[in-house]
Amino acid sequence: MINSNNKMIVKVPSFIFRIFSVWLRHYQVYTKTIISNGFPPFLEPLILLAGLGLGLGKFVGAIEGVDYVKFLATGIAVTSAMYTAAFECTFGTFLRLDFDNIYDGMLSASITVKDLLLGEIFFAGTKGLFFSSAVLIVLSFFGLIPSFFAFLAPLVGFLTGLMFGALSLFVTSFVTTINHFNFYFTGFLTPMFFFSGIIFPLNSLPKFAAQIAVFFPLTHSVNLIRALCLNKDNPNLFFDLTYIIIFILIFSFLAVWRLGKRIIN
């Protein structure tokens, strides 16, 4: 048990396994109330489609040759991923951090802050995957998805979840009271919902606004999912994917660095 330096030799679980065990904790808590947790992701797209698609769609007709219902519905698949990841890693994280001492408990086991936060982001990605899948299931039920490649679309939900999980953790690192999240939700996520090509195409915006929209992470998720679900030609797919991956890496790093400093003093 003891080597030449008088250190006890131990076999600590691997990095991947540790992240997975954090994920497993969140998964278990989430699925414990799966009926109440699994209900909204299926119901919300139904409400939106009925309200906006059927009602508004009559006036709009087709956008870029696509029925407005289809146009809108595919966008909703990524916004639901965005919102679930954002809620998980703002309010959820803040509660685990400050009120329930959940992180404190986890960090007493052989888990590091980095494992903890990456597990958190990974779970946000998983929720994104689940939420966008739910939307896509509802859509295909109504025959609204013409493309075979739509089966890859939940992966876009996963990436969207990772992006907004990482970004939201970073935002949480600045927050001292839970009310501060209003700035993030109303000041950033809501405008993004309207100006990233979900409700109307970006090329209908004035040029400067369209250029700003390119910086929004959600814009690239929307581009990817439309390409997959609607068979739309998209010459910039590689750029969109690269943007998303770099965004995830940068904000994961920033989140671990900033929140890590807050947890370890």
Partner 1 sequence: MSEIDLSNYVVQVSGVSKKFKDLKALKELSFSVEKATCLGLLGPNGSGKTTMMKILYGKTLRDNPQVSQVSVFGYDPTTNELEIKYLSGIVPQEDNLDAELSVWQNLVIYSRFYGLSKKDYLPRLNYLLNFMELQPKRDSKIRELSGGMRRRLIIARALINSPRLLILDEPTTGLDPQVRHVIWEKLRLLKKEGVSILLTTHYMEEAFQICDKLIILHKGEKILEGEPNFLIEKNIEKYVLEILNLDHFEKVERKISVPRVEKTGNCYFIYSNDLEKLKQIRDKFSAGDSYLRQSNLEDLFLKITGRQLGD
Beta-bridge mates of residue 8: 2
Pick 15 or 239: Cβ nearer partner 1: 15
CA distance 142 to 87: 28
25 interacts with partner 1 by CB under 8 A: yes
Q: How many helices (H) and strands (E) does the chain have?
A: 13, 2
Question: Among 16-24, 130-138, 211-219, 224-232, which window interacts with partner 1 (CB under 8 A)?
Answer: 16-24
CA distance 174 to 90: 11
Token pair for residue 167?
Answer: 């970004």
Pick 68 or 103: Cβ nearer partner 1: 103
Token pair for residue 244?
Answer: 């998303």
5 interacts with partner 1 by CB under 8 A: yes
107 interacts with partner 1 by CB under 8 A: yes
Question: Among 108-116, 120-128, 140-148, 223-231, which window interacts with partner 1 (CB under 8 A)?
Answer: 108-116
100 interacts with partner 1 by CB under 8 A: yes
Burial (CB < 10 A; 0-12, 13-18, 19+), residue 114, is middle
The single residue among 82, 97, 111, 248 that binds partner 1, judged by CB under 8 A, is 111
112 interacts with partner 1 by CB under 8 A: yes
Let me know the angle formed at the C-alpha of 237 by 236 and 242, rounded to the nearest 5 degrees. Answer: 100
Give yes or no for a contact between 262 and 173, defined as CB atoms under 8 angstroms apart. yes
Give yes or no for a contact between 73 and 139, defined as CB atoms under 8 angstroms apart. yes
Token pair for residue 207?
Answer: 């040029």
Min separation Cβ 11 and partner 1, Å = 8
Beta-bridge mates of residue 62: 67
Pick 26 or 226: Cβ nearer partner 1: 26
Question: Among 98-106, 179-187, 194-202, 238-246, which window interacts with partner 1 (CB under 8 A)?
Answer: 98-106
CA distance 105 to 211: 45
Give yes or no for a contact between 213 and 193, defined as CB atoms under 8 angstroms apart. no
174 interacts with partner 1 by CB under 8 A: no
Give yes or no for a contact between 120 and 89, defined as CB atoms under 8 angstroms apart. yes
Token pair for residue 117?
Answer: 């936060």
The single residue among 46, 52, 60, 106 that binds partner 1, judged by CB under 8 A, is 106
Question: Among 19-27, 49-57, 163-171, 203-211, which window interacts with partner 1 (CB under 8 A)?
Answer: 19-27
Question: Among 27-35, 80-88, 135-143, 226-234, which window interacts with partner 1 (CB under 8 A)?
Answer: 27-35
153 interacts with partner 1 by CB under 8 A: no
36 interacts with partner 1 by CB under 8 A: no
Residues of the shown chain interacting with partner 1 in the complex, contacts defined by CB under 8 A: 2, 5-8, 10, 12-13, 17-18, 21-22, 24-25, 28-29, 32, 100-102, 104-112, 264-265
